[in-house]
Amino acid sequence: MEYKITLFKVHMPKSVIKPLKNTLLSGFIGQGPKVEEFENILGNYIGNKYVLTLNSCTSAIQLALRLCNVGFGDEVISTAMTCTATNEPILALDAKIIWADINPTTGNIDPKSIKNKITNKTKAIIAMHWGGYPPDLKEINIIAKEYGIKVIEDAAHAFGAEYQGQKIGNHSDFVCFSFQAIKHINTVDGGALFCKSEEDYKRGKLLRWYGIDREEKDRSDHRLEKDIKEYGYKFHMNDVCATIGIEQMKFIDKILEKNRANINTLNNAFQNNNKIKLLSYKNDRLSAYWLYTILIKNKDDFKTKMNEKGIMVSPVHARNDSHTMFQEFRCELPNVDKFYSEMICIPSGWWLKNEEIEYIIKTINEGW
């Protein structure tokens, strides 16, 4: 199927070529000064200097779980309404997933359901930002504090989102972002982990590169003699990816502004369409709008008809509890049932021309 209007687009400015060439031919392409520069830019943008760039958001989630000391038999409360990348790292650490239900008007994890699922084995909560819209972070962090549990935000969809006057990246113990190809900004592949505490940040810095201290002054024999206290990963970002990230960051404000303007237009156009229900967003937070999700009764029919008209629409993520790898954790999730039966995402991003937005509106409002 050839789509005229796609759900995603890779953002790659031509201006990246010159700095990229310089880095590629510089004689240093591993984790070095460009990574540090990118981290400084990200830290200033978000307002949190405890940032670790990594090779993916999946790595960021796994590293965050390690920093929470999640291990064999521990329980992690999470949502099934997400990308499998949110939950596969829990299995990688031999821990158990406990699904909490969601708010069916936003797609985000429900704090009341989280509270009902806490046991003395609960080590962490993963709160994912569906489509870029922040979950109830205040309520979630209050519950976590009460029970001594850590909060990890999966903000893969939410770079640039805001909650109660602050950019996402400041509210919980750990916040994970994705710079994968089709996200707001990309480093081809990449991610970042923002930590609340200096202690977690310092430990994370070691664990992202085999547990070895790269800042160690004595490099006489490639750090061979330094004792490694705790096993780590090869999760770090390199200077080539960071060079792309530095260039991409010059465009982030425009990308977010255009996403939000497009969604404003779409919301206004569908306001009086009684076949469509819009998600219900509060005004104490600002979505980064990676996805524009609507609720519709006969979504399979809608999908077929929209695809025939050249407009790509999709649920984007399958509910995770449907996968065999997660089958032992299945439980009743009535609001996931409700949301998943009606939700579908339609194109809305920064790349759409005005006439394309008009075509989407006309196709949908004239009865698809």
Q: b/e per residue, 64-91, with b = 16+ CB within 10 A?
A: bbbbbebeeebbbbbbbbbbbbbbbbbe
**Site size for ligand PLP (CB under 6 A):** 14
The answer to whether 201 touches 50, Cβ cutoff 8 Å, is yes
Query: Per CB under 6 A, does 154 bind ligand PLP?
Result: yes
The answer to whether 5 touches 352, Cβ cutoff 8 Å, is yes
Query: Per CB under 6 A, does 5 bind ligand PLP?
Result: no
CB of 220 to ligand PLP, least distance (A): 36
Which region among 81-89, 109-117, 224-232, 307-315 touches ligand PLP (by CB under 6 A)? Answer: 81-89
Length of the chain: 368
Between CA 147 and CA 123 the distance in angstroms is: 9
Q: Which of 52, 137, 156, 279 binds ligand PLP (CB under 6 A)?
A: 156
Query: Per CB under 6 A, does 184 bind ligand PLP?
Result: no
Query: Per CB under 6 A, does 320 bind ligand PLP?
Result: no
Query: Per CB under 6 A, does 153 bind ligand PLP?
Result: no
Which region among 15-23, 151-159, 254-262, 341-349 touches ligand PLP (by CB under 6 A)? Answer: 151-159
Reading the block at residue 225, the tokens are 């003699």
CB of 22 to ligand PLP, least distance (A): 25
Nearer to ligand PLP, 53 or 363 (CB): 53
CB of 57 to ligand PLP, least distance (A): 3
Between CA 240 and CA 326 the distance in angstroms is: 36
CB of 59 to ligand PLP, least distance (A): 7
Q: Estimate to the nearest angstrom the gap between the alpha carbon of 327 and the chain centroid.
A: 24
Nearer to ligand PLP, 8 or 359 (CB): 8
Contact letters for ligand PLP, residues 39-58 (x by CB under 6 A): -----------------xxx
DSSP, res 324: G
Q: Which of 191, 232, 245, 347 binds ligand PLP (CB under 6 A)?
A: 191
Tell me the sheet residues that pair with 295: 277, 343
Which region among 150-158, 159-167, 249-257, 302-310 touches ligand PLP (by CB under 6 A)? Answer: 150-158
Q: At what angle do helices 252-270 and 354-365 cross, to 10 degrees?
A: 30
For residue 253, give every residue at least 6 positions away whose Cβ sits within 8 Å of its Cβ, in sequence order, or none: none
The answer to whether 237 touches 31, Cβ cutoff 8 Å, is yes
Nearer to ligand PLP, 38 or 368 (CB): 38
Query: Per CB under 6 A, does 192 bind ligand PLP?
Result: no
Kindly identify the residues of this chain, within the stretch 102-141, that bind ligand PLP according to CB under 6 A. 128
Give the three-class secondary structure for 283: coil
Q: Which of 178, 243, 259, 293 binds ligand PLP (CB under 6 A)?
A: 178
Amino acid letter for position 243: T
The answer to whether 175 touches 155, Cβ cutoff 8 Å, is yes
Q: Which of 157, 167, 171, 236 binds ligand PLP (CB under 6 A)?
A: 157
Query: Per CB under 6 A, does 85 bind ligand PLP?
Result: yes
CB of 228 to ligand PLP, least distance (A): 25
DSSP, res 228: P
Question: Per-residue DSSP letters for 30-44?
Answer: SSSHHHHHHHHHHHH
The answer to whether 66 touches 93, Cβ cutoff 8 Å, is yes
CB of 305 to ligand PLP, least distance (A): 26
Nearer to ligand PLP, 291 or 352 (CB): 291
10 Å Cβ neighbour count for 348? 25
Between CA 368 and CA 356 the distance in angstroms is: 15
Query: Per CB under 6 A, does 345 bind ligand PLP?
Result: no
Amino acid letter for position 3: Y
CB of 181 to ligand PLP, least distance (A): 8
CB of 53 to ligand PLP, least distance (A): 11
* Residues contributing to the site for ligand PLP (CB under 6 A): 56-58, 82-83, 85-86, 128, 154, 156-157, 178, 180, 191
